[in-house]
Structure 1
Amino acid sequence: MAKDVAYYLSKGFDRPMAEYFASGRKRITSVSPNDDFTLTLGFDNGETRVLDCKPFLEEGTVFAPFLRLENFRRVYLDGDHCVAWDIDPAIDSEAVWSNKVDLSPDSCYVDSVPLGGARNAG
């Protein structure tokens, strides 16, 4: 039985996330960093979207190392198709879990905008 927007709203989701889950989760298939601290993301439904990372790239957070463009550009997709960065690229994040910072694929979709277009999650 498919769950609709009303179901997810009743569970406490905000509207954009409720609409996203009701329409079906998307899988990230590609990630490319851009020089303006955005990411171009490809999804399994064929969409290409842009995620602005500047709002969470702040001093005093786990994202602080990625305020430097050369570090930001080390982004990759991990085995769970999450956008990820290794804090220290010389350390294996599979062995040392605290070395990796990642983003939820669901949030990446909802918080991004279609390439060349306005925000329209769903």
Structure 2
Amino acid sequence: MTRDVAYYLSKGFDQPMAEYFASGRKRIVAVAPNDDFTLTLDFDNGETRILDCKPILEEGTVFAPFLRLEAFRRVYLDGDHCVAWDIDPTVNSEVVWSNKVDLSPDSCYVDSVPAGGVRNAG
């Protein structure tokens, strides 16, 4: 069976995610925080994209500690190329897994826009 957009839609994916998977998964190769709570992401296909993190930075969520810019700026790529933050920077998240909050490369790609432009809606 061909794994095209129709295949992923039949598996319950929404249109943007189906298009993403049909075109091939991407890996994040670099992440840089910006002062407006966005991230600049470089992907292995050569694209640079901007992810607005403001919608996920809410009190009462696992992302609440990163509402402070100095904490938000501690972002890094983990061993799985996920965007990650350590809740307590003095704790090794490889040992204490509950110390790390992360975002998958797949959702980062789909939820971001090309640097310098706005993503076209489907």
Q: TM-score range by the shorter chain?
A: over 0.9
Aligned-residue identity in percent: 87
TM-superposition CA deviations, 1:63-116 (whole Å, max 9, x none): 000000000000000000000000000000000000000001100000000000
| Structure 1 counterpart of 2:73, one-letter code | R
Structure 1: any 5+ residue segments left out of the alignment?
none
Q: Report the alpha carbon displacement of residue 121 of structure 1 after superposing the two structures with TM.
A: 8.4
SS in structure 2 of the partner of residue 107 of structure 1: helix
- State the distance in 2 between where 1:121 and 1:89 align: 38
Structure 2 residue 91 is the aligned partner of structure 1 residue 91: yes
Q: Report the alpha carbon displacement of residue 118 of structure 1 after superposing the two structures with TM.
A: 1.1
Give the alignment's TM-score, normalised by structure 1.
Answer: 0.97
TM-superposition CA deviations, 1:41-81 (whole Å, max 9, x none): 00000000000000000000000000000000000000000
- State the distance in 1 between where 2:2 and 2:116 align: 31
| Structure 2 counterpart of 1:88, one-letter code | D
Structure 1 ranges of 4+ moved more than 4 A:
none
> Residue 44 of structure 1 aligns with which residue?
44
Count of residues in Structure 1 that have an aligned counterpart in Structure 2: 122
Contact 1:20/1:121, CA 8 A, preserved across alignment: no
- State the distance in 2 between where 1:120 and 1:104 align: 22
Over 3 Å counting, the alpha-carbon distance change for 1:45 and 1:67 in structure 2 is: same
Give the alignment's TM-score, normalised by structure 2.
Answer: 0.97
